[in-house]
Amino acid sequence: MKKNLNLYIGGGLILIQLLAMLVSFVYTPFDPNEMNIQERFSPPSWNHWLGTDNFGRDILSRIMKGSQTAFLVGTIAVSIGLTIGTFIGAFAGYLGGWIDEIIMRLTDTLQAFPGILLALMFITVFGPSTVNTMLALSLVSIPVFSRISRSGFIQYKQFEFVEAARAMGLSTIRIMFLHILPNVMSPLIVAASMGFASAVLAEAGLSYLGLGVQPPDPSWGRMLNEAQNYIFKAPWYTLSPGIMITISVLGFNLLGDGIRDLRDPRIT
């Protein structure tokens, strides 16, 4: 039980947010973008559980709708980065030689730029939007997954079961993706969980700067940006998206730690 505590806590936090996101597809207490100037800055009450913002919009409804953005950006960014990075690292690690050298030098070049700076450059060139935010964060995550994949393939390609597969005349592609890749998935899954947390945080940061999700679509980072001028007048406006970002990042980090502990028997 103690060993899997991170897994249970992280999974529970993510489950709560996931349920809120799923419910938001069919129901929110109010229209997330509906303005009601008469109720602007209303404190939390039975009618508005988390209060209202500077336009009188229901914060709970916008928080629920914003979870769709967080999960969408995180899922797409991590999926693309994981897929491309795994394939690149697999070929670099298994084939070695000049192929490995070229791929890793390109990866080093990409990784030389700070992730958030690279995302900012991408969005500045192609324009702020949800799609460009996902593509930018995908690009940032590729080097991380490619290095993990490469390390695993370098390690496992020397094992006896791989040598036996070669002796049987199996193709290189089959050996790589049916025999070696399943053994490399554990650290990749952990990295994906951590990467999801980073993607959610990066999306919130970009939206806070006005370079991510564009209004009127709700985003936790955008809500923080709008709330910063009213932190003393309406503290609930700032706290709600801030807490959601914290719970999301904490949940995925704990989930990643729990998965790592669960799949690695050497950890006590």
Residue 152 belongs to a domain with what CATH number?
1.10.3720.10
Q: Poorest-confidence range of 43-57, 110-124, 126-140?
A: 110-124
pTM assigned to the model: 0.88
Instruction: Specify if 43 maps to a domain.
Output: no
pLDDT digits (tens, 9 = 90+) for 230-242: 989 999 999 999 9
Instruction: Specify if 127 maps to a domain.
Output: yes
Residue 1 has a pLDDT of: 45
Average pLDDT over residues 160-174: 89
Q: Could you give the number of structural domains in the chain?
A: 1
Residue by residue, DSSP assigns 28-52 as -SS-TT---GGGTTPPS-SSSTT-B
Residue 213 has a pLDDT of: 81
Confidence band, pLDDT 50/70/90 cuts, at residue 73: very high
Instruction: Specify if 38 maps to a domain.
Output: no
Compare 183 and 216 and report the one with higher pLDDT. 183
Instruction: Specify if 53 maps to a domain.
Output: no
Q: Which residues pair with 52 in a beta bridge?
A: 58
Confidence band, pLDDT 50/70/90 cuts, at residue 262: confident
Residue 156 domain boundaries = 5-22+58-263
Residue by residue, DSSP assigns 107-136 as HHHHHHS-HHHHHHHHHHHH-S-HHHHHHH
- The residue behind tokens 């995302």 is 119
Taking CA atoms, 49 is separated from 26, 44, 58, 60, in Å, by: 19, 5, 8, 7
Compute the C-alpha angle 236/237/238, nearest 5°.
90
Taking CA atoms, 156 is separated from 142, 172, 181, 186, 189, in Å, by: 21, 14, 9, 13, 17
pLDDT digits (tens, 9 = 90+) for 180-202: 999 999 899 999 999 999 999 99
Q: Is 100 helix (H, G, I), strand (E, B) or coil?
A: helix
Instruction: Specify if 34 maps to a domain.
Output: no
- Determine if residue 27 is left, alpha or beta; phi over 0 gives left, psi from -120 to 50 gives alpha, anything else beta: beta
Instruction: Specify if 50 maps to a domain.
Output: no
Q: Distance between CA atoms of 50 and 63, rounded to whole angstroms?
A: 9
Q: Is 251 helix (H, G, I), strand (E, B) or coil?
A: helix
Average pLDDT over residues 35-58: 92
Tokens read off for 244: 């959601």
Percentage with pLDDT > 90 across the chain: 55
**Is pLDDT above 70 for 264?**
no
Give the number of other Cβ atoms within 10 Å of residue 189's Cβ.
16
Average pLDDT over residues 99-120: 84
Q: Distance between CA atoms of 33 and 122, rounded to whole angstroms?
A: 28
Instruction: Specify if 44 maps to a domain.
Output: no
**Is pLDDT above 50 for 86?**
yes
Instruction: Specify if 159 maps to a domain.
Output: yes
Q: Would you give the DSSP letter of residue 148?
A: H
**Is pLDDT above 70 for 3?**
no
Give the number of other Cβ atoms within 10 Å of residue 118's Cβ.
18
Mean pLDDT, the chain, rounded, equals 89
**Is pLDDT above 50 for 245?**
yes
Alpha helices by DSSP H, listed for the chain, are 5-24, 59-95, 97-112, 115-126, 130-156, 160-167, 172-174, 181-208, 220-227, 235-263
Residue 266 has a pLDDT of: 55
